[in-house]
Amino acid sequence: TVQNNTIESIGYNVYLNDSLNELANFVEQGNYSKFFILTDEYTSVHCLPLVEEKFAGKTYDLIEINAGEENKTIDFCIGVWKMLIDFGADRHSLLINVGGGVVTDLGGFAASTFKRGIDFVNVPTTVLSQVDASVGGKTGIDMDSIKNIIGTFTQPKAVFIEQAFLKTLPSREILSGLAEMLKHGLIADADYWEALKNSDLSIPSTDLIAQSVIIKNRIVISDPTEKSHRKALNFGHTVGHAVETYSLDNDADHLTHGEAIAIGMICEAWLSVKKNAGLTEDGLNDIVKVLTRFYPKYKVKESTFGALIELMKKDKKNEGNTINCTLLKAVGAYQINQICTEDELCESLKYYAA
């Protein structure tokens, strides 16, 4: 449901054009007592000025966290809670998250728990957070190297997507978000997958971003708390999360989320063929060709496979002792809850590493 470039989600709107003016309206019209803006060290430089312009006349307190996944922790969350207390936040305060997925996840979590929940809105400033993290109501932080292990389902009051932010985003970060856009095509829309293959993606167009948000939103609305269909969005993430966590702990220049998910999508596409989920050999080859073009091969060493499998077993997506994947029936169609054995997962990593 896109009307006037607005997508309706679960009780809130995602604004896609002229969205910072929509933010200004929101701030003006909402009955908020105080405003807080959460940024990280880079978005306070690159993105805050654009937001500030629209804030004329309103005062706010700024809360800044360190940038990067390694800071999506309880310590920074406590820092946010503490600042909210020190600045006198009450139940009618609004937290405005201006940043990538780390800021929107951590800010959403901090807001959803502060005084049993205060309102927050997301102003996502990376491709990844625009097409994925800022929509769908998942908030959270990492702990003990397990991503998003602590969190809540809490919907933002609105999301404001502004393509202008992407101008300052490093190309590696653009590519990170592109992996989720490609994933949306692979699980839900073959035409969108084709469109992405044939577009200039150096800065994805608002239209391509919108299509991605629409796909994610449609899936999330059908299953807000991930009982079934929402698991489709986990395609590439069973293997990908393990690779990402491992890299975060072991590599000085660690993989981005999207780089890890691209690896996971290759492994899980291979599993889709191997386990007869429906994807054809040609489909697999097409996926591998496109993904390796965008994400030149990162080496996954065979000596790490054991550790990766252990990480997959710890994945919060599992139920019981089995490792589950979302597999592809075809490009544009998925099958959830496919149990994969450790051997199969190991073989898929071998296929990728070969």
Rule CB under 6 A: which residues touch ligand NAD? Answer: 40, 42-43, 46-47, 67-69, 72, 99-103, 105, 125-126, 128-129, 132-133, 136, 138, 147-148, 165, 168-169, 173, 176, 257
- Rounded to an integer, what distance in angstroms lies between the CA atom of residue 79 and that of residue 82? 5
- The nearest distance, CB 145 to ligand NAD, in angstroms, is 13
Q: How many Cα neighbours within 13 Å face the side chain of 331? A: 20
Looking at residue 60, the DSSP 8-state letter turns out to be -
- Rounded to an integer, what distance in angstroms lies between the CA atom of residue 234 and that of residue 13? 24
Between 284 and 312, name the residue whose CB sits nearer to ligand NAD.
312
Between 284 and 311, name the residue whose CB sits nearer to ligand NAD.
311
Between 47 and 255, name the residue whose CB sits nearer to ligand NAD.
47
Between 67 and 146, name the residue whose CB sits nearer to ligand NAD.
67
CB 318 within 8 A of CB 172: no
Burial class (CB in 10 A: 0-12, 13-18, 19+), 158: buried
Between 136 and 236, name the residue whose CB sits nearer to ligand NAD.
136
The structure tokens listed for 256 are 């981005």
- The nearest distance, CB 329 to ligand NAD, in angstroms, is 23
Between 32 and 165, name the residue whose CB sits nearer to ligand NAD.
165
Query: Nearest residue by C-beta to ligand NAD?
Result: 101
The structure tokens listed for 129 are 């957070």
Cα 114 to Cα 68, 109, 120, 251: the distances in Å are 23, 9, 11, 34
- Rounded to an integer, what distance in angstroms lies between the CA atom of residue 112 and that of residue 106? 10
- The nearest distance, CB 303 to ligand NAD, in angstroms, is 26
CB 132 within 8 A of CB 177: yes
Between 13 and 125, name the residue whose CB sits nearer to ligand NAD.
125
- The nearest distance, CB 233 to ligand NAD, in angstroms, is 8
Between 170 and 306, name the residue whose CB sits nearer to ligand NAD.
170
Q: Which residues neighbour 243 within 8 Å (Cβ) at sequence distance 6 or greater?
A: 255, 260, 263, 264, 300, 308
- Taking alpha carbons only, the member of 105, 106, 111, 102 closest to residue 36 is 111
CB 344 within 8 A of CB 268: no
- The nearest distance, CB 156 to ligand NAD, in angstroms, is 10
Phi-psi region at 14: left, alpha or beta (left = phi > 0; alpha = psi -120 to 50): beta
- The nearest distance, CB 285 to ligand NAD, in angstroms, is 27
- Rounded to an integer, what distance in angstroms lies between the CA atom of residue 328 and that of residue 291? 15
- The nearest distance, CB 68 to ligand NAD, in angstroms, is 6
- The nearest distance, CB 10 to ligand NAD, in angstroms, is 13
